[in-house]
Amino acid sequence: MFEKVLIANRGEIALRIHRACREMGIRTVAVHSEADANAMHVRLADEAVCIGPARSADSYLNKSAIISAAIVTGADAIHPGFGFLSENADFAEMVESHGITFIGPTAAQMRKMGDKITARQAAIEAGLPVTPGSPSLDTVEDAKKWANEIGYPVIIKAKDGGGGKGMKVAFSDDDITEAYTMARAEAKAAFPSDVVYMEKYLQKPRHIEMQILADKYGNVVHLGERDCSIQRNNQKVIEESPSPALNQAQREEIGEIVRKAIEKIGYFNAGTLEFLFEDGKFYFLEMNTRLQVEHPVTEAVSGIDIVREQIRIASGAALGYEQKDIKFNGHAIECRINAENPETFTPCPGKITEWHAPGGLGVRVDSEIYSGYSIPPFYDSMIAKLIVHGHTRNSALMRVRRALEEFVIDGVSTTIPLHQEIISQAEYIDGMYNIHWLEEYMKSRKTEK
């Protein structure tokens, strides 16, 4: 087992990784920007190294500075968390070339499954269901040709995309030129490549994802599904597990399909396969070769510490259990709490004047916020995750309602009021929502006002 792990991230996920390490008897190294000198993970880690100014490009995305910090402190492994360099194959390769273990898949696996076009081909070969789609599109004429072959509506996507960037929908030939041009422009601005491709656009799908764990010896298990359909601008807002849209036969079927696919692909460590689900059918969307923001809901229903398992697998340990040993219990819901205006979604950095996290049975809060902490304006606005667990979905709904009422964050605006509003809507309570529901609901609410 590792003796010292460097945590190449910030915020609540850095603290989450620190806690898992300490419970395993592993010492931790926090790296931080100048703006994060007072962050909680920095204060709790065994060692801390400043790796640059506030700007991410100069700190959390600075590969050389992070590896230098690992060498100087004698860290024998690096955990990248999510975001930043977590799916950067070049970084993983650099880490391994310096004799340090990267806690995640290999660079080759990352390149294969992180690139949406090659991942799609790998998914087809591994037996995963996919939507009709195209290869990379070099011109507008290519886009028009494939759109007519696939059938409108279609969605043009950046091959390196994520978070809703580099994605544009076209409903006819009249839309294609603009959609293609804008998707490539967004991809060029946000990602390493401006290459785009096309898929059939599903009108009212759910976003269902499957969490997997795989060791280096070919053993694979899935930890059930998460429903991530409550989204705004393709950004997840609320997640839950299991999905209220699936019956037991459907979840067992897709779980086994995913497990066998990962065996064929030869992937190891933690990973998530994302699907669109419509009219009883699954369509592979992409694979995330890292830890997910919403991993706590899976931990709640499976009882498995996913971060701990990532570390064990990276150290060379076998899973030590089979699919039949995984027992799912109850229902879990996660609310992503952002420091944003709940109406305009404008980021609201600033000083926390009062902080009170909810507690009680089945309530978990992942955050490194504390009273007196100043939220820097340079990073993602998510400041906390509220996770609740109950024996049934109804008990989880009652618990999340109560927990949100207890949650106090003063000094900045947050999205807590939005979460309270969402969970009180009949469609959400009944589980009758899709990936467009939240945006449609917010539009109708504005019209009524």
Q: Which residues pair with 168 in a beta bridge?
A: 156
C-alpha 68/C-alpha 49 separation (Å) is 10
Q: Cβ–Cβ contacts within 10 Å for residue 443, how many? A: 10
CB 6 within 8 A of CB 79: yes
Question: Maximum Cα–Cα distance for the chain, whole Å?
Answer: 60
259 is catalytic: no
Phi/psi at 346 (5° precision): -75, 130
The residue behind tokens 């081909």 is: 121
Cis peptide leading into residue 242 (ω within 30°): yes
Show the DSSP H helices in 151-191 as ranges. 173-190
CB 84 within 8 A of CB 9: yes
Which among 417, 414, 360 has a CA at the least distance from the CA of 389? 360
Cα 415–Cα 355–Cα 226 angle in degrees, nearest 5: 45
Residues 6+ apart with CB under 8 A from 19: none
CA 14 distance to own-chain centroid: 14
What three-state secondary structure class fits 368? Answer: coil
The strand order across the sheet containing 27-33 reads: 47-52, 27-33, 4-7, 77-79, 101-102
C-alpha 157/C-alpha 169 separation (Å) is 9
Which one is catalytic: 16, 290, 312, 364? 290
What three-state secondary structure class fits 200? Answer: strand
* Positions marked active-site: 290
